[in-house]
Amino acid sequence: MNSRWLATSLALTVAVSACGGLETTDIAAQGLMYGNTTRFTVTGPNLDKGIALNAPTCMGIAEVTASATATQKVYTCTPAATGSMTVAATGGGVVLRSITVNIPLPQVTVKTSMGDIVMELDPGRAPVSALNFMQYVNANFYSNLIFHRVIPNFVIQGGGFDAALAPATTRDPIKLEIANGLSNVRGAVAMARTAAAASASSQFFINTVDNTSLDTLNGGYAVFGKVVAGMTTVDAISAVPTGVSNGMADVPLTPVVITSVTQTQ
């Protein structure tokens, strides 16, 4: 099964016991993606006698009460880390059943008017920046924004303006994550910001050449991912004619539109 398409359902049994009539026969997981809603379905007899779901690296565990029956409980949460995660159904103070699932590194596909770009994020080394970016992605924030700053042999930058150069309304800025082992090399994706260190919000840039000086310049620019497919599209965008528009320099004369950014892993 292709791990890029996670409309999957797992049911992996590790341990089972019964307590006061409680018993689970399966825990199934659907939609296992970092930063996105995952659904866990617990099945078994007498579940109405009281169970709970534990998943240490999954944020905001909540029961979907509309789906609850005596033989099925459904829970949702948002994975906040990648790698192995143990999920356990408990009742009466004991583990009734547990499974181990794997959350892959998140990937997003950036569809543009000039082609697609696939980016892989690194929440292990840039947790704040990666989660911030995924929150924008999952809110469909980037649709119909543009790459508004294009400098050949340097970077392409987008995620802050529409084709009329009207600024998008953003979330609160995040802290600067530098010295995390990631560098501004060709293909690296980093947070754009103002002169203030903790000012990054939605804008990001892709390095088209090795720009390792950006790791420390003006306090550094935080890398949180890399391009894993579509550098030909990045290079094509980097080569478009640019000019000054609305007082902004390096703006493509023909807008390079981001039609959508969607999570694919």
Q: What's the rounded Cα separation, in Å, for the pair 45 and 143?
A: 45
Q: Are 43 and 70 in contact (CB under 8 A)?
A: no
Alpha helices in 119-245 (DSSP H): 127-138, 231-238
CA 140 vs CA 49, 202, 236, 258: distances in Å: 40, 12, 24, 11
Triad 258, 260, 265: Cα angle to 5°: 125
The model's pLDDT over 16-73, given as tens digits with 9 standing for 90+, comes to 334 445 566 799 999 999 999 999 999 998 888 888 999 999 999 999 999 899 999 9
Divide the 265 residues of the chain into consecutive groups of 10 and give the mean pLDDT of each group.
Answer: 37 36 78 93 89 93 93 94 94 89 97 98 96 95 98 98 97 96 98 96 98 97 98 98 96 98 96
φ and ψ of 236, to 5 deg: -65, -40
pLDDT at 150: 98
Q: Are 37 and 76 in contact (CB under 8 A)?
A: yes
Give the 3-state secondary structure of residue 114.
Answer: coil
Span between the terminal Cα atoms of the chain, in Å: 13
Alpha helices in 67-175 (DSSP H): 127-138
The domains found in the chain, sorted by start residue, are 9-103 (2.60.40.10), 107-263 (2.40.100.10)
Q: Are 142 and 261 in contact (CB under 8 A)?
A: yes
